[in-house]
Chains A and B, each alone.
Chain A
């Protein structure tokens, strides 16, 4: 028994030394995606960095996404790595406000990121400083069953009226226009964001998520009116509140529903469900207010330097490396997403091609409702969206409640 305790103690001590005893040339990186493809892309990138910087001893710690979200709250203070992955927009705000991230304006200035990563700069900025370097993002839009569209002789709609007309054809032929699974709420936020961006534009999206516009504002009400029209004239699958986004692929794959407002990560799900590239395609969410500059949802992933990092010098070298055009080209070719650096090139996958065309020409890039709005507001907002989708008649009550939450959250 005593021997056991001793060896246990020795183990704990060794772990403690390993955790804190990083030497000067060590670069500790915490990454947050264990899924095979992203992990492969990350590993390749690390190998490339090691080859270029043989004197830096890179120590990698990969955690799963949800665990990382919890762990980062502790390790930033208690045992900070030199680099950690995290999200821009409001998601980085609590850490920036608590002084836990290191500003990296100098890395941006020295490597020309101010020009090459210009589109994403506003979301990486808080309090006038830049806090990290993004390495990847992906587009959102409408994924649809091309075979059904061909069968019904529908073209990709580019305006709201065309979308409504297409929906009518689908409904007349017994096809549910849209599938969605709102059990985990955020999918409904994607639909809301797009209708709002197309109805009122990028600035209203930002002012709303920054708490400068009330939810009972006429412009936001107009967004909900358009959404109501979409529910009435197009329609979403029944029981969406009991489905996850993956569950909602089933009616799409079966041909019961023809369109899905989603992010590009869902393409893998369609293919797993047996669909081929010929059966699925992508179009940009159609225009609602004529002439409104087209803004897109493009949630980005980024690397940050914790304020408590021990090896900031090498950490900055790594950030400069991550932002480089060739590195982003290679990384995103592997993980199937879009590079943020405008000098990068993209792979010839049709969704990546279309996504790059969509995002790189956008007038503004939104991060997604639950990343642009503070957590408490995002939760209340998304519950409101889900409720609205189930019961549009409760709109006034929902908006009043969102105003109340907004009054508490932004002070």
Chain B
């Protein structure tokens, strides 16, 4: 034994703390990038929200920002467009969560062994694979009152083809076709419906993988005990899908809060700002052509960050609890 004891005291500090140090070495690259691209900008953005700045530097390269304290935030409080955006964010949050049950039912429906099932599955998964921009464009055309599907069906039902004064073909409608994306009332719902399409596919895939791991013996046992239909789903299958449900909810909530691309593609926040959400309104005030108010945009970003923080902290806390429970 003395020999080995001698050995232990001789080894370097590095090798003695190997287990504690190694993870950090592996983490360093990720941490550096995370700091540069996420953590530092977050604090920069919060700092900027106390300034008024049009994004310009003077000839000598000094920023032209002016300290205004909390003024950007008090402005937000009286800005109706901010409240519209916040209201739309809440709408997105609740309606987007429909993707979770919808995804579950499609997954249950697809979770059977029929000829060509893989093909159907991939068809249902398809919208998630194509870019959000493409989804936005497709739905934009779909809703178009002149040449879209909605417009064509409307024309078929309520319009008659006539010729106009010059003898060209035109349509006379008993009422004009619905212009979903240009109506302050319906545009947001139209965009959310477009957003749901890929999101449902995503939730479906999460549940499909979850269903693979559902224990067959428990289903069997449940069946012997007389459970079937809704009861089987609610008491036997769903509890086993809890991890999948958790991830689906997390991904959907975050997806709803950062909804941006659909809005940018389909309405640019219009008509007259009625489909803005916080992220798009931030973009519009800070970076777009008629924006250039970086301080105000940063204040909006900070509010959005605070809202997200509530959800993210909750999710992290839940994950932490689960891990502790699992140990």
Chain A residues engaging chain B, CB cutoff 8 angstroms = 66, 69, 73, 76-78, 94-95, 98-100, 147-148, 151-152, 173-175, 183-185, 238-239, 241-243, 247, 250, 254-256, 307-308, 370, 375-376, 378-379, 383-384, 386-387, 390, 401, 404, 408
Contacts and interface: CB of A to CB of B under 8 A. Distances in A.
Contact of B291 (A95, A151, A375): A375
List of 10 A-B pairs having minimum Cβ-Cβ separation, nearest first = A241-B182, A255-B166, A379-B290, A383-B272, A387-B272, A242-B182, A77-B57, A238-B176, A98-B56, A375-B290
Given A255-B166, A379-B290, A386-B271, 13 more contacts: A77-B59, A78-B61, A99-B59, A147-B166, A184-B268, A238-B176, A238-B177, A247-B146, A254-B166, A376-B291, A386-B272, A387-B184, A408-B75
Contacts, number: 110
Interface SS, B side? loop
Contacts of B177: 238-239
B210 interface: no
Given A77-B57, A241-B182, A242-B144, A148 B292 contact: no
Interface string B127-167: 00000000000000000111000000000000000001110
Nearest to A250: B146
Given A100-B58, A239-B182, A256-B164, A386 B270 contact: yes
Interface of B: 54-59, 61, 64, 75, 78, 80, 144-146, 164-166, 168, 170, 172, 176-177, 179, 181-182, 184, 268, 270-273, 284-285, 289-293
B145 A254 contact: no
Given A69-B289, A77-B61, A173 B165 contact: yes
Contacts of A401: 80
A203 B268 CA distance: 33
Nearest to B176: A238
B270 A185 contact: yes
A69 B270 CA distance: 22
A174 B164 contact: yes
B52 to A, nearest CB: 9
Contacts of A66: 289
Contacts of B64: 98
Given A185-B270, A308-B59, A241 B164 contact: no
Of the listed residues A69, A173, A175, A183, the one surrounded by the most CB atoms of chain B closer than 10 A to its CB is A183
B151 to A, nearest CB: 9
Contacts of A73: 55-56
B144 A254 contact: no
